[in-house]
Structure 1
Amino acid sequence: MNNLDALFYQNQQPMWVYAINSLLILEVNEAAIKRYGYSREEFIGKSTRDLRPVEDIHLLEEILNSKEPKDIYESEFRHVTKSGAIFHVEIQAYDIAYNDIPAKLIQAQCIEAKKDIQGKLQLTESKLNRLLDSTTIGFYQLDPNGNITYWNNAAEKLLGYNREYVLGKNIWDVFPEAVHSDFYTYIEKACTHKINVEFTEYFWPIQRWFFTNAYPGEDGILVHFRDVTHIKLAQEVLLEKIEQLKEISFLNSHYIRKPVASLLGLTNLIKDNVIRPEEFKEIAEQVQACSYELDDVIKTINKKVNDGDGLKELAFEMAEFCINDLLKDVICDYKNTHPTHRVVFKASANIMYYGSKHGIRVAVENLLDNAIKFSPYADHVVLTLSKVNQNAVVSVQDFGEGIDSRVLNKIFLGFIKRDVSRELGEGLAKVSTVTRRHHGNVWVESRPGKGTVFSVRLPLSTMSAIKAGIKTDCNSYRDPGLEITYDEENKYLRMDWRGFLSLHTIKAGCLKLCDLLKKHDCKMVLNNNANVMGSWEDAAEWVGKECFPMLEEAGLQFLAWAYSPSTFSRLSADMAIRALKGNVVIKTFNDKDEARQWLEEVGKAVYIDQD
């Protein structure tokens, strides 16, 4: 009895016992009498239903009618006192036998304070959500698996997807095109290492720069980001203006001074009566020639200023459009403006695109102008559109004399270096600017006497497909375009690249190769670029200066490099090899079988010496 007295009658929490069959209360402690306001006589014999508000009795009935009997259960309810005051309780119920009657022992803990705190927290959370939804800073939250659990209004406006679409989806399924980018690298770093990261990166599908912070927490990571495109654009414009001023200063000091000095000299001759009357005509012709020369220089300066100002406006008006329709519109205009040449259009696919319609139009028009200019003896040029590995490829073919290797090298460098690009002319500079802002690139294939083909690669994002209601394959965006196999017999690793390469895909391939070199204790690699298209000039210097030292440290000694048939890919490879720092022996080949044979011969010598 002493134990019962201590555990039940003297317990500070309200407790009572009720019969399971009748629900009538059989016994009650002093704490329950005080809390509920009934006397002991009133409590005994009362139904446990009477302790609940009428509208909540069905909740008790649901538990009583449950087909899963429990010896102990816990739950939250609302209870009511004798005076009618309603409060929240947390109930713990235990099966017991009371005087041989099947019964339940109930302990009721008041949780009003807890509920009050929860209410305040919910109110605070509601206010925080309203604040997050009203800010111009984008917020989203990821669970430990990378699924989106929160997405505010600013994220909708900045990135284009509403929260109903993204909630519950994996972030890399929503933005698969970001997998091979710094966005993926930094966010995964925050998730994996549980550290704060911040970075500024260009998100090419919408052509905006974002400053991003990622904070890890118990439930995943919280990411907030803001648009800093205006800052980046201002920096770009400032650099452009500085380069313009340098060029204008150069033109002023080297080209304007000559005709001006000539005009001053000629007019002084007239003013000082040095010339004879019969020489006036000759002097007038010289004055006119100097004036024409001066006018040409001034026009050149004005064109550089106007064209430079126009570059920054090329790619910031984003829209969804059909590339086929855009190209047909351009061709229609060229029928009137360029009657000497027909534009033959060939399209292997109908492609919806999300990007700068005006910018792409300017790029295509400049390529067509260039093709017509260098096809003086032909009556047509060819405009081709195709879809290759989630990329729209626009090509313009002329039928001129072709471009020699020296000029091709200059064009290649012009697409990499700003100072060299100016020497190519404003037309190709605009093409380079447009493609760079669309995360694409430009390359050229040319044969002397056979003509030239300029090609532009425009990566396709998921945005245009989703806007058009087209289902996309996210895995195609994640594919790095690389397969690495180990030749057990000849003891070398073979890298088979395909499609278009970028700095991030090449970095990923390099790191994977390092691991495999160590795993197989391998010294030789066959690098097959036979199926690589276009250019990867943005990664060439990194490959030579960073990648090869890592590979050499991992054990690489000999590398057979099979060239791509693409001219600019070959030039990218040559640039990487020239930048090589280290002692890796590299030999290049036009044919992958020749590369394999050389490597196998080297392997025999290497491994025989070891034996």
Structure 2
Amino acid sequence: MLPSTHENDFSGSFYQTDGQLKSLFMQTPGLIAMLRWRDGICELVNPVFRQLWHNRDVLNKPMRQAWPELGEEFYQKVEQVYDSCKAANSYDYNVTIAGDDGLISDYYFDFVYSPYCNHQAEMDGVMIMGFDVTARNIARQELAEQQLLFKDITDAAATALWTVDQRGNITFVNRTWIDWTGQPYEAHLGRGWIDFVVNDDRERVISDYLRSIDNKSPLHSDFRIQRKDGKMQWVAVSGKPRYHSSGEFAGYVGSCMDITERKKTEQMLQDSEERFRSIADSAPVLIWMTGADKRTTFLNQSWMQFANVVELLSDTGYLQSNLLHPQDAEAVLDIYNRAFDKQEAFYVEYRMKRTYDGVYRWIGMKGVPRFEGEDDVFAGYIGSGMDITEMKEHEQIKNDFIGMASHELKTPITSIKAYIQLLLTIYSKREHDEFLIKSLTTVNKQINKLTRLITDLLDVSKMESGRLSLNSEEFLLHDLIKETVDEVQHTASHHDIVYTGKSNVSIYADRDRIAQVITNFLTNAIKYSPESDRVDINVSLGDTEVVIAVQDFGIGIKQEEQAKIFNRFYRVEGRNEQTFSGFGIGLYVAAEIIKRHNGRVWVVSEKDKGAAFHFSLPLLN
């Protein structure tokens, strides 16, 4: 029976209960308050409740007056319990309390509202018990925010993300996967995602998937899915097993990346490689490729038929030592290995046995390094070889002919030169024979040119046949240059040859051959500078070599022609396609002579700005 008045008779109240129970309530760490009657007159509050409201005086005051911050919902809950005599709860109840400093703080409580009766079993009031769950509520809010952030991040990812439980059922997919398929989130959960795998890939994908789950191993697979626009899309799946803190297998977390463009590129590369193989196999030349580790990666059909190869060979497989001619094998492998280590192009001629008939054939082999990627990473070599046996035979015939013709021409020309010099001696002092003297001098100059030409042709023939010998000796370079300059100057009436630099050194070389090189450089400079009146020759010393440079001020050489200038039979054209006389072998002979002396030859030039031809010789130790 409810009391009708708020009399001050507390008989049967909490104050008349056992003192130990009161002491227990007062020491409880949660909030405890005893409210009497329906108005919720505060009869008792424990210290925790008092401290929360900064020891505010609330005793014997109605709840609305004692705690106005608790709000109407709290008051109505107390009245509801009082009227029904049934307990009630409030969870995560928000209470805003101002501190002593005026700052507002939010607290969250779980409240339990319990009715209590007096000794006459009459409803006497409501006991409030509160538990501070502010930290739990904040953690829950932070977790919700983190989950929302995670969802935003995963939905913004261009990669499809997913999770799988320990039974292999999908438990989460992000927005990207849903956008790809155009189907709702629920359609992909469990094993629903399999429905979007293209039929031709489905059996393989399921097999890979189940095998990885059974073994709890990382999952990797490529397959196609059906997009919402009807197109096929390639995806690369990567999944990693995950475990609970207890070590129990919890499933997988993984991603799917759109690799359609990569697959298209791979297909294009595959098509390109197939076209390359088809073209290479149909080519009549020997084509090969190696990796960066020198291992052979490709031989075309022509090569495999030539060498009777049925599979790729390791190391320098395309240079099979058992097929190389014994006299060529060591030099060929040395050239190849040195070029490979320096990543430089190379060309080599050698003899290789043709397997089906056992005949050695001459092969001209060229190899160039290949590089891949934006960083130009060295990837190996690609090369081709051609059977040049017939060309070698024709070249030998030509060299033999040149050698024979040059030798046969040399004898009559020597006789003619002797008679011309004799006539010059006889008529040089007769003033009335000026025309005769001039004519004989001109003939003598032309014979000198013809003699040099025949000498060069003979040298070419000797070089090609390996018969060019060197008769080296120690001599003063200055004396040789001075003699050679004087000799050439005698025939160069329109040019002054200016000799400068340090040359008081001794070298060990073939004196006549070095003189031949200097002569070729000087006559070449004179020939290609017809509008100039000067040629310079300079000598400079390095730490290990002496360098001789011949500078002209003539037509110059284009950049693209400079690499060819020392080739046999190559000639530079002048202005308006003007062609200069000569066979184009003087510089070739000079370069070959210097190479045989372990020296170097090079040219520095610009078109219409003259040219400086250099050669170096090692100094005596």
Could you tell me the TM-score, scaled by structure 2's length? 0.36
* Higher helix content, 1 or 2: 1
Question: Which fold has the larger relative contact order, with Cα–Cα distance below 8 Å and residues 6 or more apart in sequence?
Answer: 1
Which protein shows a greater Rg?
2
Could you tell me the TM-score, scaled by structure 1's length? 0.36
